[in-house]
């Protein structure tokens, strides 16, 4: 497995195809996928020897206080092989993120144990997630 930090056009298409299999990313267009990848400060991908995308995650950050981790995704045929663990490790150990005080993400309750194993907690005081849909 190779680690890459920039996706080529074919890998972005593969990411778009992976997105179509998940409830949280299903319906994203290829253009939206291209935009979210190019608009992220850090992307981490795991590819096989042929360059096929097997795992991906992206980060939005100020490089000081917070780094928000998004779209942690592993190809269905590669799940339960440790690739998700590797993506989180690579982000947390990324040289450009060494000074970041807090890594944050949001996930479904059934994924909490996975992220707890990486040092994440749901104990964030009285902070509430808020959203305003831009229509």
Residue 15 has pLDDT above 90, yes or no: yes
Is 134 a member of any domain? no
Residue 2 has pLDDT above 90, yes or no: yes
Is 71 a member of any domain? yes
Is 38 a member of any domain? yes
- pTM equals 0.93
Is 67 a member of any domain? yes
Total tally of structural domains belonging to the chain: 1
Is 23 a member of any domain? yes
Cα atoms in the Cβ-side hemisphere of radius 13 Å centred on 19 = 22
Is 26 a member of any domain? yes
Residue 67, Cβ neighbours under 10 Å: how many?
Answer: 24
- pLDDT, tens only, 63-98: 999 999 999 999 999 999 999 999 999 999 999 999
DSSP state at residue 110: G
Residue 55 has pLDDT above 90, yes or no: yes
Region 13-40: mean pLDDT is: 95
Is 129 a member of any domain? no
Domain interval for residue 21: 2-116
Residue 129: per-residue pLDDT = 86
Is 125 a member of any domain? no
Residue 89, domain CATH: 3.40.630.30
Residue 1: per-residue pLDDT = 87
């Amino acid at each position: 497995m190779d680690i890459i930090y920039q996706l080529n056009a074919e890998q972005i298409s593969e990411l778009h195809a992976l997105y179509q299999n998940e409830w949280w990313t299903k319906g994203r267009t290829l253009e939206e996928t291209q935009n979210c990848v190019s608009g992220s400060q850090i992307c981490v991908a795991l590819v096989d020897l042929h360059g096929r995308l097997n795992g991906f995650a992206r980060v939005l950050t100020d490089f000081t206080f917070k780094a928000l981790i998004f779209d942690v995704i592993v190809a269905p045929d590669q799940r339960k092989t440790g690739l998700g663990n590797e993506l989180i490790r690579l982000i947390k150990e990324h040289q450009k993120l060494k000074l970041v005080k807090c890594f944050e993400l949001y996930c479904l309750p059934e994924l909490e144990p996975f992220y707890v194993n990486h040092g994440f907690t749901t104990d964030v005081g009285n902070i509430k997630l808020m959203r305003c849909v831009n229509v």
